[in-house]
A and B are shown apart, each in its own frame.
Chain A
Amino acid sequence: MNAFDIRMKTGLFPEPPASYRKCVQNALNMTGAQIKPKRRFSVAHIAIAAAAVAASLAVILLGVALRKGAPDVRPGSSVGTDLPPTPPANGTVPLASAEPEWNGSTLILAAKDPDGRYSDEDAGRFGRIILSFLQECGESEPDELWILCIRAVHVTLPANDSADDVSNVLVLAQSKFGASDGPDLYCIQDRSDGEVLWGTQDGAFGPHRVLGTFNGQQRWVLFGTNATADGSLGHIRSCYLTGGEDGTDIEFSGLLTTEESRRPFENSRHPDRLGEYYLIVVAESDPETVLNRSLLLVTEKSNYLFPIRDDVPELQVLTSDDGAEIRKTLDALVGGQGKAQYGETAVFDLTNVDADSSKAYTEAVLDWLRRGGKEPEELWLCAAVQFAFPEQYPTDEAYLLCLYEFDGETGPELFLYKDGEILWQTAGNDPYFVNTLYDPVKNINCAFGFSAAFDNGPLAMEKGQLTLRGADVGTFADDSTRFYPERPLEELSGLLSGSKHKDAAREAFIHPYSRDFEIVECVFTTKDGREFSAPDGVKVLTVKTEPVF
């Protein structure tokens, strides 16, 4: 070993800092693997972090930490609520069929507060209702229940900022769920540069974690967020801003910076986090959209969809034996066209939805399937995409291929097509992928979805030929480094038809949108020149739709 190597070995890394070790312990606690002292039955505490920002902005973060067995939070107890302590008998519970249980310890819910009427007592009331609901469902009680109430009206900017018209101001709230941490709030004027006009400062979660804005006419939005348990660290992973320029919902995920705020698709994630407690709250500018008034809670084994009704500002938990209400909601979510082809992979035709909302849709679909006793190994969802092309590319007669991967290991990949040629494509490990694509002004005329799973493995084909009735879209090639030329044709066919091999393509489907095309043939070519058609079992959805743009 030479001197440099020795220097490398000794000089690069310190021991893990204490905060890192704590983070590991927290993660272990979250898994439930860590043995913790048994807690006594008692009402724990409702941790409330309330932040009143300026005169008329208030965001209340309430953490209700409820220790197991608290006598006065049980259904039927009288704890001063004017809402029923148990779900109404004739209501609807979006129940999972598969014995749901909390595997972690934190449950997060949010309630919109359109009139700014919520108080701490209200939040506590919600907590009791939710706990009753969970108990009614046979769920175990969460160790903690966090309720995030966002009052979404009236911003008064700091005096030194001259934004008189608050109607186009977007308030972004980033909440941490640590017991000692209040919400971070950011006020960003609705303009393209995403400038932060005002923001709270809170250490590591300072303004660089602001979620950003979107060039649109948003009103007020509630954010979906998840948080890690035990309060040590939490941040927004996914949220939906409603009311983009074209009225669509835009998903922001991950940790966005102001610089990134104009590239919302860059961070698109997929529903790979069923092990976490997810909350998606969508509000509010489009009252006609069911999704916009629903809470979707994803737990380890089940999802809950909580529709919120305008006429009842409080959080409502609808219950019914047959899940009709939720089914109706789901039908609305999928545009009434949810056609599942179920096997190892469920493929849904969601012609009338936006890809931006794919996460919420996918979760809803998963819930739907589960309630029917089906747990797909994978769920592929491809929806019409409203992407725009980079400036240098014309939008006419161009096509977009969306390659989604839902395994959580990698993000989506996109291919931009024109005349059979790839004009642009994402690169597997390119951290900057997709972002150059987004332009809220121009929309694509036609989109194709193509998916193939490869858990860090190969896209088991070199190129494919999509032959569409009336049009030959051309060929495409994937990164050759992902190609496994030694795989025999039979195996490739097997992979495509649904092999359980975890490290290879399992399923492929092609889903045309927007135009009256029909897939008549699907041929893949291996690197050594052999061709094969999509084998039996490959689920190819063929849809005919009217042009959507």
Chain B
Amino acid sequence: MNKTRSDAWFVREIEAAQPSMFRVAFAILRNRTDVEDATQNAILKAYNRLGTLSDRRIFRTWLIRILKNECFDILRSRRPVVAIDDYDPGYEMSVPDLDLNRAFDTLSPEERLTVTLFYFEGYKTAEIAKLTDVSEGTVRSRLSRARASMKSILTEKEQ
């Protein structure tokens, strides 16, 4: 593929992946500036490393993996605690279910990522395991723990 065609393909793929990238980054980072930093870094990195990708059919997964790494890289460098009451994602947007989002916020970044990949990106647990470098059992337990935790919080709130 020549460079022009390759570039056009890259742009198309990134644009198509935009919602997924947003969900993954936002799930992990929960903060606008960090989300955008991670996204930009991931896109740049993906572009620069495109030549190393052996099979372009796995581009989306590869991209998400890069993004995930960028997100955790940022997590390492930022202030770890954000009080939930003060939480401000920095985006002017209305989340569909505020209570659900608050419950989601209480999960660990790894759990949030796992939930997002499972529910929204359609990955199977084995694929998530590979993508996140943990065992499939860990993925299942994260999912289970996340669900239980969120359910518990939501139930408490509703009562």
Contacts and interface: CB of A to CB of B under 8 A. Distances in A.
Contacts of B22: 13, 16, 20
B11 A33 contact: yes
A267 B93 CA distance: 31
A27 interface: yes
Interface in B55-113: 65, 69, 72-80, 90-97, 100-101, 104, 109-110
Contact of A266 (B65, B77, B104, B150): B77
B18 A21 contact: yes
Contacts of A267: 76-77
A9 B120 contact: yes
Interface string A459-493: 00000000000000000000001000000000000
Nearest to B109: A431
B39 A20 contact: yes
A10 B133 contact: no
A27 B44 contact: yes
A28 B50 CA distance: 13
B117 interface: no
A16 B93 CA distance: 9
Given A20-B35, A24-B39, A11 B76 contact: no
Given A8-B100, A12-B120, A255-B77, A32 B7 contact: yes
Contacts of A257: 78-79
Contact of B91 (A17, A24, A33): A17
A257 B116 CA distance: 28
Most buried by A among B65, B69, B94: B69
B48 interface: yes
Interface in A236-275: 253-257, 259-260, 266-267, 275
Given A13-B120, A20-B39, A255-B78, A204 B33 contact: yes
A82 interface: no
A11 B96 contact: yes
A8 B133 contact: no
Contacts of B133: 456-457
Interface stretch (A141-149, A407-415, A508-516): A407-415
A10 B72 contact: no
A256 B77 contact: yes
B36 A23 contact: yes
A15 to B, nearest CB: 7
B140 interface: no
Contact of B36 (A19, A429, A432, A481): A19
Interface string A22-35: 01101110111111
Nearest to A426: B76
Nearest to A502: B52
Nearest to B49: A275
A7 B69 contact: no
A205 B116 CA distance: 28
A405 B21 CA distance: 25
A133 B94 CA distance: 50
A113 interface: no
A11 B47 contact: no
Interface of A: 4-5, 7-17, 19-21, 23-24, 26-28, 30-35, 204-205, 208, 228, 233, 235, 253-257, 259-260, 266-267, 275-276, 408-411, 429, 431-433, 456-457, 481, 502
30 contacts: A4-B151, A8-B115, A10-B96, A11-B96, A11-B97, A11-B100, A11-B101, A14-B94, A14-B96, A20-B22, A20-B91, A27-B39, A28-B10, A28-B14, A31-B7, A31-B10, A204-B32, A204-B90, A205-B33, A233-B36, A233-B40, A255-B37, A260-B77, A260-B79, A275-B44, A275-B45, A408-B73, A410-B69, A410-B73, A481-B134
